[in-house]
Structure 1
Amino acid sequence: MKKVSFLKVVVFLIFQSCSTDDNKPVVRDSIMQPFDVKYEVIFSNGLKEKRNYTVIEYGSESSSGNYFLQNRAKIGDLSKVWTHTFTSRVAKMPMFLVVNTNIEPVSEGNVRFKIYVNNKLVEDKTTTVSPRTDILIEKFFGASYWVNNTK
């Protein structure tokens, strides 16, 4: 009986280690400089903004608190995927990557944020957005990721 229980546990562990979960982001153990970063923001089909544009903020920060990018983009057409790419060559790690938005939708929808490092997905987050009445207060949401390098 012990052998059968042991065999079941071993088979379970083998299947668990072989299975993949497409919803989990891929995290690299070692990322050396320089590395490429890509931000991607995808708005759900038919999502409309109350204003004439949606603001997307994106940037990075080293562990020393130095900002290397701190940018805002105004997006008028939410039907297109917004992307931004750059190559990081910072001297000090770790590095904090962030992309977010403050959309004010007229109806409920989703905003999906993706962060890639060296063409590998490291963060994938979807947020449901709904109309709000307190639009005078900016409310940003998005995704972030710490890039570490190990030697």
Structure 2
Amino acid sequence: MVAETLRNMPVPAAQVLHGDCTERNFIFRSGVGPALVDFRAPCRWPIWWELARIGCAVPAILSGDAHISALARFLAAYRENNDEIPVADLVAVAQAARCYTTASVTPLQDLVAPGPLLSMPVLANYVEQRHAAVTALWNRADDYDQALREALR
């Protein structure tokens, strides 16, 4: 399913993006922000890839049905401020998230980084959450795609 989804995605528009925009690198204070801690140099990436990483983090996906409409609002707001981005790239964010979340183990490297030994409960919890997120993304693929198409008309 991943290979087929990737084949059907648009040729991506690219822009200079930060390579370290993960949820742990955004800092909010009293709901205001964000500040961004970015340890990697910016480089050119497909827009849909970075937006999928930010908008479809595992905890967000696991928030349930509200995530679909929240992702649609996030991308609509992004488009309002970046109207030169092709709509097809924004609609492809959910497709990119499905592929990325299925094929990637990020942030597993944080769990196995040098330091205290990884506990089996932490690893088991990570695997269970990741699996639940992948399952939700594929089971609700049509709902995600339709919501994004409607929000980005």
TM-score, normalised relative to structure 1 = 0.24
Query: If each structure's helix is expressed as a fraction of its own residues, which one has the higher value?
Result: 2
**Structure with greater Cα Rg:** 1
Query: If each structure's strand is expressed as a fraction of its own residues, which one has the higher value?
Result: 1
TM-score, normalised relative to structure 2 = 0.24
